[in-house]
Amino acid sequence: MNKAIAIISASLLPISLLVLSPVSPVLDRSAGPPAKVAESYYTVKDYSTVKKFDIHIHLNTAQPAFVKAAEKDNFTFLDIVDDRPFGVPRVEQEEIAVLQTRNFPKQMAFATTFPVAGWNDRDFAEKTIAGLKQSFANGAKAVKIWKNIGMDLRDTNGKFVMVDDPRLDPILDYLEKNKIPLIGHNGEPRDCWLPLEKMTFSAGYYGSHPEYHMYLHPEYPSYDDQVNARDNMLKKHPRLQFVGAHMGSLEWSLDELAKRLDLYPNMRVDLSRMPFIQLHTLQNWQKTHDFFVKYQDRLVYGTDRQVNVAKDSAALEKNVHEEWLSDWKFFVTDDPFSLPAYGNLKGLKLPKEVVDKIYYKNAQKWLAAGAV
């Protein structure tokens, strides 16, 4: 674990360089205004030659088809294990992750998680840390904390356990101290707490799953409770190397997201809310473009793809390729896109340098910060 101590936090590096460098254009007035460097851009053709990373994948099968598809498209990825009560159980997800990572160490890494079943046991934190250490010994590189904390788990008094609960602090302290990256899926899209007619994209889903539609369950924590608990957790653990899954559950407002990125320098978010990003782009292309440029060190590409057993691996490959390529086209070109029920927009056409960070470098830095 000691090697990580010598590594300077990646997100602090540009600031210290700017302050210390004697040739910084900010300090050197004799140099005159810096020459405007022409931006360069990728094209659709560059897709297969540029190295890319998808930070949010769920491998629910030991089949190699997805990994092979990723290799073909020049993608490496992070497989995320989580503590969900449906589908492939957590222990099996982890077995799949260990096996796939052993078979394809150059193609992927995995994030482990911890069960909350023993929450009320006195030695919960101790046992959880021991379990995490075991996962790191088996190759895990990061940890996922899931929305069951905040939306399902209750203490012995029936009160919901939120992510800033002091009983989680020893575990988060351990991750913080050892620079072990944490991914947090805290809360849900804000839609979940709105009436169906006010939702942006989720009315179909929540309309048919009223049990998960929080607007109908005011006895559950509110949307603000979820965001506040996550913010409070980051306040308590300022050096935690954190990625907020799904744009940190602030998908509906770039302004609200920007506030958190400004407040918490070790927070990043994944982009696995593409329809929302496209809606922001449709509503205000320039603002969305500028947001991506301003926060280029804090945004990490990810899709939240569930990879299930595939009978037809060629169809899987085609499907994966089309989704990834469409996102690439959105970020690198200004080609037209259509957002059903909303209208037409054009791609963000981000400069190469920004694309390289969002698609690869930021995730690599974040993973490299870890001691495992």
Binding positions for Zn ion, rule: CB under 5 A? 304
Q: What is the CA radius of gyration of the chain?
A: 21
In the complex with Zn ion, the residue whose CB is nearer, 304 or 317, is 304
Tell me how far, at minimum, the Cβ of 329 lies from Zn ion, in Å. 23
Rounded Cα gap, residues 37 and 32, in angstroms: 14
Is the separation of the CB atoms in 72 and 65 below 8 Å?
A: no
Distance (Å, whole) CA 165 – CA 119: 11
Rounded CA-CA distance 240/355 in Å is 25
CB of 181 to Zn ion, least distance (A): 15
The CA distance from 28 to 49, in Å, is 38
Q: How far is the CB of 218 from Zn ion (least distance, A)?
A: 26
**Nearest residue (beta carbon) to Zn ion:** 304
| Nearer to Zn ion among residue 83 and residue 304 (C-beta) | 304
Cβ proximity to Zn ion, 9 vs 60, nearer residue: 60
| 254-263 helix and 285-294 helix, angle to the nearest 10 degrees | 10
Minimum CB separation of residue 110 from Zn ion in Å reads 13
- Are 243 and 297 in contact by the 8 Å Cβ rule? The answer is no
State the nearest-atom distance from the C-beta of 324 to Zn ion, in Å: 16
Nearer to Zn ion, 188 or 304 (CB): 304
With respect to Zn ion, which residue has the nearer C-beta, 202 or 333? 202
Q: How far apart are CA 152 and CA 113, in angstroms?
A: 16
Smallest distance from Zn ion to CB 254, Å: 22
Sheet holding 142-145, edge to edge: 299-300, 267-270, 242-244, 182-184, 142-145, 108-112, 75-80, 52-59, 305-307
CB count in 10 Å sphere of residue 232: 14
Instruction: CB nearer to Zn ion: give 10 or 145.
Output: 145
Specify whether the CB–CB gap between 319 and 30 falls below 8 A: no
Nearer to Zn ion, 305 or 361 (CB): 305
Burial (CB < 10 A; 0-12, 13-18, 19+), residue 121, is exposed
CB of 5 to Zn ion, least distance (A): 31
Closest CB to Zn ion among 176 and 304?
Answer: 304
By C-beta, is 165 or 304 nearer to Zn ion? 304
Shortest distance, position 250 Cβ to Zn ion, whole Å = 16
Task: Give me the least distance between CB of 184 and Zn ion, in Å please.
Answer: 11
Sign of the alpha-carbon torsion through 324, 325, 331, 334 = negative
Q: Compute φ and ψ for 76, nearest 5 degrees.
A: -110, 165
